[in-house]
Amino acid sequence: MALNFSHAFATVLYPWIMYDLTGSVVCMALMAFINGGVLLIGMAFGGYVAEMLGIRHTALISAKIGALTSLLIAALYTADFLNPGTLLFLGLLSSILDGPATVATEVKVPEIARLSGLSKTDANSIDDMIDGLVLLTASAASAFIIAAIGSKDAAWWITICNFAAMMLLSFSLPKFRLRAAPHLLDIIVAGRRFRGAPISLPLALCASAALGFFMTLQIFLVPAALRLQGESVAWLGIFIAASATGTIMMNLHLASRQDRPTPSSTVSRAFLGLALATGLMWIEISPLTMILAGLVAGLANGWLSPAFVAILQVKAPRDIRPHVMGLSYSVVLLFLPLEYMLTGVAIGLTSFKTTCILAIFLLSLAAAVSAAWLECIEND
């Protein structure tokens, strides 16, 4: 939990620091793009790395690298010695094992449950609840902390969280027996398991594209708008808190329904909701529009939850489970780095308002195309 919180904190703060150092939205996007790309690749090969280094070693090495790099960033930034190149390098280094570490800890939940005397079902429920709580609250909390104490002091908070995560993992994560040396071909074998997945590849790709823009809103587009207009980062916390509320509301609504929405309606409504949220920000950047846009974006994101549950529940034999889980996470995050970069370049070349108009058009087009594509597949 502490490790996930520090990751969420860094995801919000480091692009913010990059803008402070350069005054460039494109450089801000580059920071988010590189970190997102490293995370995506790390997820895809996470099973291989975790099996090669060992589950415990992978998680601990990731925590130690995160603690060291966050300490260097905080110290250099406080002393005014931090430059964009150094921040980019240290940010890249800090996230290089985030993907494998996530796969390493998640894949061992059943065994940790057995060692703890919990049932597999209870352990998975507790793990999902904690992960969901962190994902829904960490980014909003970090935005409010940055606003309250400033970005330089906030950088030290990431260091504290990373050191706490390192200590907790060293005391709580058991030593697992190493299995036979992994092979890269195991990733290809794991990929074939998706043929029998409870979700079609087109739906997975469409849902991933929608989620990518939802995360781009939170991590890049809203922060960029606030920086360009000189507004408080606390407004980002308002947006994220509202989006978390919208996601929970939609999840509760879907859980109470007797019938399941069709894939075509699920994805089209998600894209249209994101377009509406972007349109609200195009009208005005204010606390009220942050609340409304965040709530609408969260409701749109909530529509996608059943699709991601299906992606992450692909069944696999024990020997290739880490590879399947890593590929599942990488499918979920597939479009995220690209959408970071495209959004940043669009703002850099045009303006925030023009980028919003372009995003609204593309999201509306994506809603129409994905609905038609998935409906054709459903009818076949």
Query: Each residue of 81-105: b (16+ CB within 10 Å) or e?
Result: ebebeebbebbeebbbbbbbbbbbb
Q: Are 62 and 100 in contact (CB under 8 A)?
A: yes
At 275, list the tokens: 């377009």
Q: Are 26 and 160 in contact (CB under 8 A)?
A: no
Q: Categorise residue 178: left if φ over 0, alpha if ψ from -120 to 50, beta otherwise.
A: beta
Q: Categorise residue 266: left if φ over 0, alpha if ψ from -120 to 50, beta otherwise.
A: alpha
H-helix or E-strand spanning residue 324? helix 321-332
Give the whole-angstrom CA distance, residue 252 versus residue 259: 14
The residue among 353, 132, 149 whose CA lies nearest residue 252 is: 132
Give the whole-angstrom CA distance, residue 26 versus residue 342: 9
In tens digits, the chain (380 residues) has pLDDT values of: 566 677 777 887 888 889 889 988 888 888 888 888 888 888 887 777 777 777 777 878 888 888 899 999 999 999 999 999 999 999 888 888 887 877 777 665 555 545 455 444 444 444 444 455 555 566 667 777 777 788 888 889 888 888 888 888 777 666 655 555 566 666 676 667 666 666 677 888 888 899 889 988 888 888 888 888 888 878 888 898 898 889 888 888 887 877 777 777 888 889 999 999 999 999 989 999 999 999 999 999 888 877 776 676 666 666 667 777 777 778 888 888 889 899 989 998 898 999 999 999 999 999 998 888 877 776 66
Give the whole-angstrom CA distance, residue 369 versus residue 101: 36
The structure's pTM equals 0.81
Quote the DSSP letter at residue 93.
H
The pLDDT score that the predictor gives to residue 134 is 56
The residue among 9, 8, 7, 15 whose CA lies nearest residue 32 is: 15
**Which residue type is seen at 118?**
L
Give the whole-angstrom CA distance, residue 10 versus residue 3: 11
Q: Are 66 and 91 in contact (CB under 8 A)?
A: no
Cβ neighbours for 85, distance < 8 A, ≥ 6 positions apart: none
Using alpha carbons only, give the angle 356, 357, 358 rounded to the nearest 5 degrees.
90
Alpha-carbon distance values, 89 to 35, 70, 84, 163 (Å):
10, 12, 9, 20
Give the whole-angstrom CA distance, residue 60 versus residue 56: 6
Q: Are 340 and 43 in contact (CB under 8 A)?
A: no
At 45, list the tokens: 């090969």
Across the chain, which distance is largest between two alpha carbons, in Å? 63
Quote the DSSP letter at residue 117.
T
Helices 98-107 + 109-116 axis angle, to 10? 50
Specify the 3-state DSSP secondary structure of 286.
coil
Helices within 284-351 (DSSP H only): 287-303, 305-311, 321-332, 336-349
Quote the DSSP letter at residue 284.
-
Give the whole-angstrom CA distance, residue 308 versus residue 339: 19
